[in-house]
Amino acid sequence: MSDAFYKAFEDKYRGSRAYIKAQLQVYQPYVDTLRVTCPDGAAVDLACSKGEWLEILNEAGFDTLGFDTDRSLVELCKQRGLNVRQIDPLDGLKALKDQSQILVSGFHLVEHIPFDHLKAIIKEAFRVLKPGGIVILETPNPENMFVGSNGFYFDPRHIKPIPPLLLAFVPEYYGFSKIKILRMHEQAKSSNQPNLSLYEALSGVSSTYAVVAQRSVTDGLTGLDIDAIAPLPGVMLSALTNSYDHHLNQQYAELKVIATSALELAKDAENKLDYIHRSLSWRLTKPLRWLDHQIKLLKVHGPSGRVKAFGRRAITSIVNRGFNYSATRPKVYKIGTAVIKKSGLYDRLCTYLVKAPIEIVILPPTIEEEIEANRINLRLDYMDSNAKAMYFELKNAIQHKEGSE
């Protein structure tokens, strides 16, 4: 990738110098401690980019040196009066004297280089650091699902993400005595925040982490102890997902209580309704309800319609009873059928029985019927317009089929 392209890419997406310096303030406790322990110490920054970290170290009084392979970035740093060389960071480290530095730093370097190259850099950092000196390596945090699956690959120069425990093991392997993992730049304020969404659980993890490793103190910088510096709070994936599960379980428990209460209320209402239907007053008022229903039918169909309806029902009842009586008596059935056929009423009577509408007196529904009706209404409430249309079309087809049989 050309220097001009990457510079334009960084100018658009990396952030301003003020923003970068603000992000680097998390390391101020280490800078302050080093300044007290060794105020005139030397510090080297690998892949120094635009030099924001070098400026912070210069302001603290350190003798600084920066390495970068990008010519345009090196020129930019030199224009700002920074001591920077255009060289590969590993080659630059190899050129430094043993135990000449109190700080070796590399911000967003390790994801750009092969793993063997990383091991060589940490090995060289151990050599050039004074006893008690520290190395800081910052990189994107793949524990953040959105960083590991998308954000990391936004920079085309990135090779592959490195898990925190792997990066922390490398300085441990090469002799550093104290290792710390600092997780930072998280979106979630706390893993205990209420109403944590799934998106917040996955994206709220610290987007960046750093490994801070200290060389054994022995007779060197006896005043520096990285364990004495307060750790960053950070947010881990396990903390957010556990918090999300906890809030989800709480909501489930609350809904379960509400559902149980609703079922108890429904059962109580059912018992009260059943008590009403079984009561003496309900049975005594049955004729009144029937009469009210008949008055309504009379208003709709008129007197002649009601008389015809009663007549059809009476005839239908008599004929049905006759058929039921003769169905178990073959001789009676045979004689009766022959008499009706000779009279010419058989076909007419059959046609009448098929076409005659049967009126049913509407009585109050039973508990079971009312519950089932409520279930149907509940199901219809959750249907969209297309589903309701299909339901009623199917229902009408079934009723039409039953009516034609």
What pLDDT, on a 0 to 100 scale, did the predictor assign at position 390?
Answer: 65
Phi and psi, residue 114, nearest 5°: -60, 155
Q: Is the pLDDT of residue 235 over 70?
A: yes
- Residue 373 CA: distances (Å) to CA of 169, 217, 263, 368, 380: 67, 81, 17, 9, 11
| Helical axes 164-173 vs 115-128, angle rounded to 10° | 50
Nearest to 118 by CA among 129, 134, 128, 106: 106
CB 66 within 8 A of CB 54: yes
Backbone angles phi, psi at 195, to 5 degrees: 55, 45
Residue 360 has what pLDDT?
38
Check if the beta carbon of residue 66 is closer than 8 Å to that of residue 92: no
| Burial environment of residue 172 by CB neighbours within 10 A (0 to 12, 13 to 18, 19 or more) | middle
Q: List, in order, residues 6 or more apart from 337 with CB less than 8 Å away.
A: 326, 346
Nearest to 92 by CA among 119, 65, 60: 65
Q: For the residues 288-308, what does the mean pLDDT come to? A: 79
Write out pLDDT tens, residues 338-361.
Answer: 777 777 666 666 665 555 444 333
Q: Answer whether 0.75 is exceeded by the pTM.
A: no
Picking from 219, 185, 214, the residue whose alpha carbon sits closest to that of residue 34 is: 214
